[in-house]
A and B are shown apart, each in its own frame.
Chain A
């Protein structure tokens, strides 16, 4: 059974990694904690689920999987709109106002989702079933989970490469390290911030989309991922890719093994571990 728990741990960690990476990018580059990040996850989930339900059976299997990207796209678009309208207004304000504005956005978006998709659950299990199962070390395991891990791995690789090697990525990192200096170097903070926000939102949407073949899209689906992403950021440290990875793995495995041993203990155990880490290292494991 340990094989299964470990694989599940990796699966949870994968989704969490995507979500918290998005949160971390926005936090790092813009200094904004987006409380509506979970709503973007939810938007990704709903659009992906809805799309799959519409097109299942009518299109080649390949297209079905590509439709998962719709989550990334729509979340990115919503993120873009949010940034242009709200976040712009926030630059001059203090942290309190930023949090309040994103909180307002959260309330707004949750009901917008309700307005568009209603209150029912959207089941889109086709991709999950189509991939079938595989035998790993004597245990039967759904291939879809491995697929999610693979996609996350690709996304992580892409971000790592992007942040480290491309001009755009380096500019984003420059801003996150020292905003004032970056302005002094002539970087277009406005456009780069929008880009960072869109990227971060897209990642959340992608995570939400990837999850729907295994869980139905429901109202409030983004709440728990948001809290867990917060924990990952706090434990892993601000502005660190490594931190997001390690944090996600830690939380993912705690979740997986926790649920297996005593279901109730999962969240408290998580908090306890996070608490201990924070007492020893207040800025997180790899934080600045």
Chain B
């Protein structure tokens, strides 16, 4: 078996990442962990956007589902509050909600699809907000430290938890998500999705049931996003209804675009960049939305393929130059 140079690079990066907790301060590490959870979100979201060609401004809903699954179990079933139950539960509920919402959305074409996806997430937002007896309303829910396989973390504070066991747990799940997504994308199923993206009429004519496969993509992306939401909740310690607000969904779209939705690694880079960008903006000005908005506009106009895409085309240009010999 030929070892693809890419795989070698990934393994090296993974090993490098294992050492991160020793290199970063606790504050920076938490930031990085936010970035990792959003990277998982971005990977899932991009399956729908980059590979299937559907833009949803409502994926915050699944993020919220994952996050609130954690919060609700903490509140109502503290006995089951351990990671090995929480993660599958989050995946299960994201699956259920994305089946329901997805079914309603994929029957429609582009613009209606976007509006509907957005509206459904706002429905969830309204429910989370108004049913405050259940969900904590605008206060949201607290997310205490979970147990893992019987190991309790009572007594240690969140920063220690996050820089210790939790970091590795998150890293492993991130790595698994990457491997699974790479598998999906290069598989026959992934090719079918891309065919749908490129030409849905022809796709239908080669025997692909377009609606059904869009729904599959929707569901898988919903589950990844839900997983990200659940993992995020432990870092944040707290979940609120605005996770389902469409503006938050917009941020998910932004980071995917920022990284570039044409390649697999794009959303990962975008997620990490966005996390830092947002924090930088929020820390330096009260008008951080202006900053994010302006950078988004500049980005769309100048770098439509995102940062990763721009780097990729740059590399391609350089490759062509070296192949051709001396540039004239």
Contact = CB atoms under 8 A, between A and B. Distances in A.
A108 B114 contact: no
A89 B300 CA distance: 10
Nearest to A263: B130
A27, A96, A108, A267 — which one has the most chain B CB atoms within 10 A of its CB?
Answer: A96
A281 to B, nearest CB: 11
A139 B130 CA distance: 31
A108 B294 contact: yes
A275 B57 CA distance: 18
Interface string B46-85: 0001000001010000000000000000000000000000
A111 B296 contact: no
A95 to B, nearest CB: 5
Interface string B105-135: 0011011101110111011001100110000
A96 B55 contact: yes
Interface in A58-77: none
A152 to B, nearest CB: 23
A103 B296 contact: yes
Interface stretch (B8-16, B86-94, B249-257, B320-328): B249-257
Given A103-B250, A108-B297, A275-B104, A97 B123 contact: no
B contact patch SS: helix
A52 interface: no
A278 B300 CA distance: 32
Contacts of A35: 57, 250
B112 A234 contact: yes
Nearest to A234: B115
Interface stretch (B34-42, B188-196, B285-293): B285-293
A234 B116 contact: yes
A109 B123 CA distance: 24
B301 interface: yes
Nearest to A282: B107
Name, among B112, B116, B296, the residue most crowded by chain A CB atoms within 10 Å (CB to CB): B112
A282 B119 contact: no
